[in-house]
Amino acid sequence: MMHEYRKAALAALLVAGGLGGTAMAENRMLEDFSGTGGTKWSFFTDQVMGGVSEGQARIEEVDGERALRLTGTVSTENRGGFIQARLDLEAPLAPDAEGIVLRVRGDGQRYFVHLRTSGTMLPWQYYQAPFEAGPGWTEIRLPWTDFEASGRILRDVPRPEAVRSVAIVAYGRDHVADVSLAEIGAF
């Protein structure tokens, strides 16, 4: 726990001082898969609601980077259609955060970031923003306005301090998924 505090304090110092060698160092890091944070990603599929999609999420070396790799077969049979890896946040995001930033690579397909907030009470509620994951590592910035609510009873745009989890998701169509996440944070 103390290590997490030091890591957060160092990140805040880097942001405040404008230091850091990479663009990601300027962001509020949620996960970089360095093995020091002790974060826990959960993997699940549409099977929780009767779907038949299958896959896995594991931390491994991908093109020289330690990353979370989400792979599997997404099927829309039985009203399904997703596989996902989700990180529950230990603390809320800063209210001045402008969006989510991630560094990804993949198979050239469209994937999604899903957010759950204090206002997403039902299992099928979330905010969703798409991104393309090409063959090389790429930084993607998703401002809050890129996130679309899954239903009409949710706010139009999520509030950063209300975000409770972030997820990388293969969703919505029949396909074979392969996407890797090296870093994710808020900007």
pLDDT value at residue 162: 98
Could you give the count of Cα atoms lying within 13 Å of 21 in the half-sphere of its Cβ?
0
Residue 146 included in any domain: yes
Residue 18 included in any domain: no
The domain that contains 165 carries what CATH number?
2.60.120.430
pLDDT (tens digit per residue) in 63-122: 999 999 999 999 999 999 999 999 999 999 999 999 999 999 999 999 999 999 999 999
The Cα angle at residue 147 between residues 83 and 150, in degrees rounded to 5 = 65
Residue 9 included in any domain: no
Domain residues for the domain of 132 are: 31-186
Q: How many domains are contained in the chain?
A: 1
Residue 11 included in any domain: no
Residue 19 included in any domain: no
Q: Read off the pTM.
A: 0.84
Residue 77 included in any domain: yes
DSSP string, 110-152: EEEEEEEETT--STT--EEEEEEE-SS-EEEEEEGGG-EESST
Residue 158 included in any domain: yes
For the chain, the straight-line distance linking the first and the last C-alpha, in angstroms and rounded, comes to: 24
Residue 16 included in any domain: no
